[in-house]
Amino acid sequence: MRKINVFMVAVIIFSMITACPAESPISKDTNAAIEKRIEDLLSQMTLEEKITMLSGDVTGFDTKPIERLGIPALNMTDGPVGVRVLTKETSVAFPASVCMAATWNIDLMYKLGQTLGLEAKAKGKNVLLGPCINIHRVPHGGRNFESFGEDPYLTSKIAVNYIKGVQSEKVIATAKHFACNNQESDRFSIDVKVDERTLNEIYLPAFKAAVQKGGIWAIMSAYNRLNGHYCSANTWLLTDTLKEKWGFKGFVMSDWGAVHSCIPELHAGLDLEMPTTNYFKIDDVNQAVGRKLIKPSKIDDKVRRILRAMFYMCCFDKKETERGDCDTPENRAVALQVAQEGIVLLKNQNNILPVGGNIKSIALIGSNAAKLAYGGGSSWVAAPTHTISPLDALTSKAGQGCAVRFEPGTFFEDDFSLIPSECLVPPAGYDKEHGLLASFYPKANLEGQPVRQQVENSVDFSWQRQSREDPEPDFTSITWTGRLAAPETGEYVIGLGSDRGSCLYINGQIVIDTRSRHGFGLKYKYTTVQLEKDKPVDIKIEYYERRRRVAVRLVWQKNEQPPLQKAVELAKSSDMAILFLGSNLLDESEGSDREDLSLPQYQEELIQKVSEVNPKIVVVLHGGAGILMNKWLDKVSGLVLAWFPGQEGGNAIADILLGKVNPSGKLVTTFFKRWEDCAAYGNYPGQDGTVNYAEGVFVGYRYFDAKGIEPYFPFGYGLSYTDFEYKNLVISRKTVRPEKPVTVNLTVKNRGNRDGAEVVQLYLGDEKASVPRPVKELKGFQKVFLKAGEEKTISLTIEPQDMKFFDIYRHDWKAEPGKFNVYIGSSSRDIRLKGSFILK
């Protein structure tokens, strides 16, 4: 027997190994099915690595990568209308979501979403935290501007194309806030009590459409409770409805800090805790698995969902997140078009608009004319690449034959200066001659003894926790006390700015109070006082409700030339006056609801005074929802709703006012005459931690129709500089079977001498039902562009689902036989054509 050469055998084996390298893992095989790649990765992961993927990292916007297996991080960015990064890099600031929806142009929404996806990739992000698709329930809602309006059908259509556009660029879109986050008041804890039918007909349809028609890969759970359970720990919402009933294959993340425990949230269906690891800690989840409180298969399902979204959106492909330029002419053009199509012309008495050739001088009045109110406040805000104010845009576009002049009508914040140390006197007994005594209290509402006291030269205080790991401060509330000595006798405007609740007292009387519903950001309130030289007054400032940031400033301005009078004089000497009024990002913001539905008093006074000297008045209104107009609407000839129109808003507004663009926007929320006329009156903001949605399905125009209440401007309303005729209504079937759609055809003609666009709206009403149903509900629309004199035939489809209501006894949708009325109109109240069919 021949001896075996051990050395030769070793050489042969080595040669075989090097000639046939190990097969690469299935997870890295781009030709393999995604589900197989997911399972291959799961099989290689330790339990600790799986748990690591279930929460964010210390950056506040990213998840943790698993470098050993090449699993990248999810890199997230706000927000719905502009890519925001914490480094404050600039991005295109698009119009607010409410302005997007007011275009009623779903093709444009796809283009917008696509542009946002491109911009996210340009910033190295693969998750966009938008769209926000909560329904407008109350006009006070601080984030109404960030949503698509009061109607679930319109919201669904806008949202689906927005989502498809974003995800066409392999960026994960995120529908938020799931569900019933319809107010900012007590949003972290309010328990929303709402019945099953109302949920399914009003507040859930847009989320369902996002999943089943938009193919969305991420859902963000809301802060609030829903029928007793926090949304992040609500099994009925996240598992029974979203994942099982609707078939959602993606992952659910929490809103930032919306997780309150570990095991309940894991069981309920939350997959990702954001922004960092507070409850889904490795040790805690490991112990829960070891004690059989959580099944390993549930952890696997969460990781599987995150990986699935990452694979389908090509997050493993680095080329998809390469950084690039987002400030392109193409992207800015999309922002401009959305603003142009979203602006709504509400009133045009005697055809005051567009500005005609007989107008040789225009008075622009209001601070929003010189400083564009491009967006609402907080999480959505992008740092724009640039802005152009309406003042600059109108000046450049009006032409040499028309003089454009400006007066703010009020002080700008920049006009104010800090009250200097030499005008402040601390209480007796302190070494410093000038300044105010600052006292820092450990508890809210100035309870207990101060933990420290010090004399400060002025009230210009700022403090911020840089990260969650920083230690908590030793104070929760602060006072500044002493006396205020004016350098000369006169009238002074004093401003107190803070990012939370604060109060100003003069001689023991409260003159500024911002304690209720204060949003994010340094917001000022002002008061006018008469001061005399050598007669100091007692002054006290109180600050409450510290969270992650404190900012308090005390400023003033001597009122020598009242800006209101200067504005009135300018209006008097001009052919027409255009007043830029309404809100800005501090008035409407995440974190607080609007405390007053009227314009600020000084703005109403401005309208009154200007109307006394010039009858040709146009108001350009900024904001995200309806406001009270009873004191001033009859005093203006023109009213233009600009919403928050994004960085290109100045140009868009000028184009509308000058007639370079024909307005085509339509309201997406009802503009009411009285708060008492609204459906939620009496059931907002809630009591004892609970708010009841007692109005049920009668939200927005549904309620106004049911009660026969006349609003100022109804849902779907918007004027044009041309006129449209509706005719030739044809309904495809007179008798319909439950499973068959109905086709509605009609002709629309532009009867005017200007090109323009009309939004044809289809409403459907069940004439007789076993449950209370709205008189009519939006079930179809189409935006049609027509040249002067042109006509087109359009087709709208009523789907079988459109005829149904949600049956609480069957826990399912139900259509009842009978007569259905078809309404075709230019708004929910301007019905031009009517027809009907019988459902068998």
Give the CATH number of the domain where residue 195 resides: 3.20.20.300
Task: Indicate whether 701 and 735 sit together in one domain.
Answer: no
Task: Indicate whether 362 and 450 sit together in one domain.
Answer: no
Task: Judge whether 645 lies within some domain.
Answer: yes
CATH number at residue 439: 2.60.120.260
Q: Is beta strand 218-221 parallel, antiparallel or unpaired with respect to 251-254?
A: parallel
Task: Judge whether 200 lies within some domain.
Answer: yes
pLDDT of residue 474: 80
Count of domains in the chain?
Answer: 4
pLDDT of residue 321: 47
pLDDT of residue 586: 76
Task: Judge whether 305 lies within some domain.
Answer: yes
Question: How does DSSP classify residue 72?
Answer: P
Task: Indicate whether 63 and 186 sit together in one domain.
Answer: yes
Question: Across-strand partners of 781?
Answer: 761
Task: Indicate whether 784 and 684 sit together in one domain.
Answer: no
Q: Which of 707, 741, 757 is the last residue of a domain?
A: 707
Q: Is beta strand 417-418 parallel, antiparallel or unpaired with respect to 549-558?
A: antiparallel
In this prediction the pTM is 0.91
Task: Indicate whether 395 and 519 sit together in one domain.
Answer: no
Peptide bond into 384 cis (omega under 30): no
CATH number at residue 687: 3.40.50.1700
Task: Indicate whether 228 and 94 sit together in one domain.
Answer: yes
CB of 465 closer than 8 Å to CB of 484: no
Task: Judge whether 332 lies within some domain.
Answer: no
What backbone phi and psi angles, to 5 degrees, belong to 735? -125, 130
Task: Indicate whether 692 and 805 sit together in one domain.
Answer: no
Helix or strand (DSSP H, E) at 638: strand 638-641
pLDDT of residue 412: 72
Give the CA distances from residue 706 to residues 264, 270, 768, in Å, rounded to whole numbers and listed in that order: 41, 39, 14
CB of 354 closer than 8 Å to CB of 721: yes
Say how far apart CA 546 and CA 467 lie, in whole Å: 15
Give the CA distances from residue 360 to residues 354, 401, 405, in Å, rounded to whole numbers and listed in that order: 14, 6, 11
pLDDT of residue 550: 80
What would the 3-class secondary structure string for 348-369 be?
A: EHHHCCCCCCCCCEEEEECHHH
What does pLDDT average to in each consecutive run of 10 residues of the chain (840 residues)?
47 42 72 94 97 95 96 94 80 95 98 96 94 98 96 98 98 98 96 98 98 98 98 98 98 97 98 97 96 97 98 81 73 97 98 95 96 84 86 94 94 82 93 92 88 94 67 84 95 88 94 72 83 95 75 88 91 98 87 90 95 98 96 98 97 98 98 98 97 98 98 98 98 95 98 98 97 98 98 98 97 97 98 98
Question: How does DSSP classify residue 600?
Answer: P
Q: Which of 707, 742, 775 is the last residue of a domain?
A: 707
Task: Judge whether 21 lies within some domain.
Answer: no
Angle at 222 between CA 164 and CA 666, to 5 degrees: 50
DSSP 739-797: T--EEEEEEEEE-SSS-EEEEEEEEEEESS-SS---S-EEEEEEEEEE-TT-EEEEEEE
Task: Indicate whether 146 and 295 sit together in one domain.
Answer: yes
Task: Judge whether 812 lies within some domain.
Answer: yes
Task: Indicate whether 746 and 819 sit together in one domain.
Answer: yes
CB of 125 closer than 8 Å to CB of 76: yes
Task: Judge whether 2 lies within some domain.
Answer: no
- Residue 72's contacts (CB-CB under 8 Å, 6 or more residues apart) are 65, 310, 315, 316, 318
Task: Indicate whether 487 and 374 sit together in one domain.
Answer: no
Residue 632 structural domain: 339-412+562-707
Question: Which residues participate in catalysis according to the annotation?
Answer: 255
Say how far apart CA 560 and CA 35 lie, in whole Å: 73
pLDDT of residue 515: 76
pLDDT of residue 551: 86
Q: How many CB atoms lie within 10 A of CB 761?
A: 26
Instruction: Give the orientation angle of helix 296-312 with respect to helix 34-44, to 10 degrees.
Output: 130
Cα of first residue to Cα of last residue in the chain, in angstroms, is 93
* Rg (alpha carbons) of the chain, rounded to whole number: 30
- Residue 691's contacts (CB-CB under 8 Å, 6 or more residues apart) are 183, 190, 191, 192, 193, 683, 684, 685
Closest by CA to 389, choosing from 630, 86, 120, 652, is 652
pLDDT of residue 607: 97
Task: Indicate whether 292 and 312 sit together in one domain.
Answer: yes
Task: Judge whether 4 lies within some domain.
Answer: no
Question: Across-strand partners of 763?
Answer: 778, 823
Task: Indicate whether 359 and 266 sit together in one domain.
Answer: no
